[in-house]
Chain A
């Protein structure tokens, strides 16, 4: 019945991906005004719990997804890096709002020009702040990404783009 081992392996991967993407435990790292939109998304009107992401954990050890919500300053960056390092694999990072994506309209002595300067980011949700619809769209894109991943949490290899390599 299970003569072909490859068949069983692929089904388990799919089941793990399905289970993971509908049980996202998020760690909200909320620092600024984007937090208001984050709360609006989490509350009953937009109801992020429909996607299985309604249970924020306030310990990085228990979290799967790091939501970085709001402007990150240079003073705060070591804390954020430490929290990212404390999270267990597999882990994902969502950059919520334009300040975490690129620094936004801040270009000064205090602000980090995007958190992707120190950690890998899976989903960027731009906006100042992003509307809850954008957040849900980003969450669905993250779910698709989680579903497509290897069961070990290893990310799929990026497709080769020799035209960009010099």
Chain B
């Protein structure tokens, strides 16, 4: 299926679960309410229409500092345009961050037999940062979810072993959250740099 048909198929089947959808640069993206995640993912995996048997990636984004600071001047000073030039109309602009939720958990699915791919985005609030774990469907979600827990502090309900995977157990906080100070150091031994 092409991206448009894929979005249409998911939206038709789960009308109440889909918050929004877009196809930025040809990548089909569907925003889901988090209570429907497990059901939609299971359908995507087992339904012969989708056959998304490969979880390519699982990550998260912290939008809390989005547009609060100008983007680094590197691209401008180097002469490389950040976006399309104003002379060239962008027929398919990026729709922007998904709503007021602080975090978005992002899932990338790929179908090996049908060769189509789909991105699911699940907005998550900071106060109740928890989504369902996909380890029951894809065993490979185990370490990816542990990484999201480690870096962003988003919990996964039903995960068999949710503990840090990249940082050490003594580490306090979640370093990829935008409110983690960039110069905060927590060395195990040695000086504080």
Contacts and interface: CB of A to CB of B under 8 A. Distances in A.
A77 B185 contact: no
Interface residues of A, number: 14
A135 B25 CA distance: 46
Interface of B: 166-168, 175, 180, 182-191, 193
Interface string A102-146: 010001111011000110000000000000000000000000000
A109 B190 contact: no
Contact of B188 (A77, A107, A108): A77
A112 B184 contact: no
B182 A78 contact: no
B186 A109 contact: yes
> Which one of A74, A78, A110, A113 has the greatest number of beta carbons of chain B within 10 Å?
A74
Contacts of A112: 187, 190, 193
A75 interface: yes
A61 interface: no
Contacts of B189: 77-78, 81, 118
A101 to B, nearest CB: 14
27 contacts: A74-B168, A74-B186, A74-B187, A74-B188, A75-B167, A75-B188, A77-B187, A77-B188, A77-B189, A77-B190, A78-B189, A81-B189, A81-B190, A103-B193, A107-B183, A108-B175, A108-B182, A109-B180, A109-B184, A109-B186, A110-B166, A110-B175, A112-B187, A117-B190, A117-B191, A118-B189, A118-B190
